[in-house]
Amino acid sequence: MPPVDELDSEIVRLLQADARQSNRELARQLGVAPSTCLERVRSLTRRGVIRGYHADIELGALNRGVQAMVSVQVRPLSRTVITAFKESVGGLPEVLSVFVLSGGDDFLLHVTAQDLDHLHAFLLDRLSKRKEIVSFRTSMVFQRLHNTVLSRLPDPTALD
């Protein structure tokens, strides 16, 4: 895969900030021809740099204003158990993200619910009944800052 150059990085940055802007507007901001911009976006998509376009949703507007991070330990610790658990909980409507970890915990689940009662029901009625879970710990999320615009890291070998 060809490396991501400065123009590609700027395209990615601008699309992360507003993926709904037209190719013409994107090209204008970049100072390139629309055909160049379109080809670069298509190339980034083909190469898997751009994997899709998503709407940023306010969870409270969908009556899912409570968020928590749930640290989970499973046993036996095997590829089969990890894969099955990841796929199973990743399909639950309360689960926004599943992170597979190293260290003391095996998973970190980002979950959301209508309110504390619904979160409690999810933890007791769905999560705690899973036989592979040996323990879990829940931390409530009070606020979240989400960086939606990432840029390419600077080359550590480049001179300042």
Q: What CATH number should be reported for the domain holding residue 128? A: 3.30.70.920
Strands 66-74 and 107-113: antiparallel
Report yes or no on 115 lying in a domain. Answer: yes
Whether residue 150 is contained in a domain is answered as no
Instruction: Please state the domain count of the chain.
Output: 2
Contacts (Cβ under 8 Å, ≥6 apart) of 136: 70, 71, 72, 73, 123, 127, 128
What is the predicted pLDDT for the residue at 3? Answer: 85
pLDDT at 140 over 60: yes
| Segment 15-29, tens digit of pLDDT | 998 999 999 999 999
Shared domain for 101 and 37, answered yes or no, is no
Residues 35 and 94 in one domain: no
At 159, the pLDDT band (50, 70, 90 cuts) reads low
CA distance 36 to 23: 10
The model's confidence at residue 156, banded by pLDDT at 50, 70 and 90, is low
Residue 137 lies in a domain: yes
The domain of 38 spans 6-46
* In a domain? residue 29: yes
* 79 and 123 share one domain: yes
Q: Are residues 30 and 69 in the same domain?
A: no
My answer on whether 11 and 39 are in the same domain is: yes
Find the helix packing angle between 23-30 and 6-17, rounded to 10°: 130
Whether 41 and 85 map to the same domain: the answer is no
What average pLDDT does range 104-127 have in this prediction?
Answer: 97
Note whether 92 and 130 are same-domain residues: yes
- Dump pLDDT digits (tens) for 16-75: 989 999 999 999 999 999 999 999 999 999 999 999 998 888 899 999 999 999 999 999
User: Which CATH number is 10's domain given?
Assistant: 1.10.10.10
What's the predicted TM-score (pTM) here?
Answer: 0.81
